[in-house]
Amino acid sequence: MKRERLYFYLMAIVCTIICIETAEAKPMTLKFAGINPIEHSSTVEMKKLAQNVEAATNGEVKVRVFPAGQLGDYSLVYEEITKGTIDMALIPIPTEYESRHQITMVPGLVRNYDEIGEVFARDGWLYNVVKDLHEGLDVVFLGFQIEGFGGIGSSKEISDPLNPDTPKNMLCRISTMELDKMVMDALGYPTVTIPYSDLYTALQTGVAEGWYGGAAIHTYQSFRDVLDYWYNFNLFLETYQFVVSKQSWDKMTPEQQRIIATEAEALCVNSIDIAKSEEKDCLEKMKEAGMNVYIYSSDELEPINHQIRTKVWPQLDQLLGKELTDSLMKEFLTDK
């Protein structure tokens, strides 16, 4: 009798272990949200990452990609990331929850593609600042994805575009970020705030006559049939950020976290060369599509850059706080 009891006891333990191992072996599926079109390079890279993660984890982690705003615009997606209802995203970061996220959009952080690798490097000054901002919202930050330098797309020719003191004749769409308003005010543009998800209709109906807040590739892929002009002002570097819900991150093993972080870093590093190549390609495609494209030298852009340095930078403490603004000035903007 004792032997039978011992046998059944041991069998129960074995079954329990098997059940636990089976439960642990169940694949984890992560929802990965993006806002760019399906054909956009960032969507292609997201899908590539999904394949690499599944292969590297032997199928333990599957990543399902939702591009083109299928899970909502970037503001909604980020909110869901903070709640844990979306696992990962590659998106612009809204500033409703933390106004200091506008730091990555400050004009003058970088002026050309050669400077990007150092300024936006993993564990660099800017990276660590942004990482801390996300941590305060229960979000894990894994890197910057480069989209390209920002300019202005318009449905009409802009009056005296290189003279910041000339009042402009184009009603320009901006996002909800206060920094956008500061920049456009300094350059003489009247503005209207419109969500990105409503921008196409706004441009089509004339509610806005142009837009500020994106790179050449966004204008070409999404708005080329409602805009006639592109001004390649290199006003700022358009970046998306690779973020993961802290709740989802904590469910992963350390090895799974390492794999995703490694793949995210590779995606972000590769994005610099991709953005540079795509910008050149898109500028040519804009011309082929009948758009008027204006590309300027550094000397031609100096009046605009000077206006931004003298009119916008002194106001940054209103958005970033004095401590962070002083640190940023010391790190990036001194003697520039």
What letters, b where the CB count within 10 A reaches 16 and e where it falls short, cover 30-55? Answer: bbbbbbbeeebbbbebbbebbebbbe
- Per residue in 145-191, pLDDT (tens digit) is 999 999 999 999 999 999 999 999 999 999 988 899 999 999 999 99
Give pLDDT < 50 ranges for the chain.
1, 6, 10, 14, 17-18, 20-23, 336
Q: CB neighbours (10 Å) of residue 287?
A: 12
pLDDT at 184: 98
pTM for the complete prediction? 0.82
- Per residue in 36-63, pLDDT (tens digit) is 989 999 999 999 999 999 999 999 999 9
The CA distance from 224 to 211, in Å, is 12
pLDDT at 108: 78
On whether the CB atoms of residues 194 and 173 are closer than 8 A, the answer is: yes
Q: CB neighbours (10 Å) of residue 128?
A: 12
Taking CA atoms, 302 is separated from 149, 278, 283, in Å, by: 16, 25, 21
The CATH fold of domain 2-333 = D-Maltodextrin-Binding Protein; domain 2 (3.40.190)
pLDDT at 14: 46
User: What average pLDDT is seen over the chain?
Assistant: 92
On whether the CB atoms of residues 77 and 89 are closer than 8 A, the answer is: yes
The domain locations on the chain are 2-333
The CA distance from 101 to 319, in Å, is 9
pLDDT at 12: 52
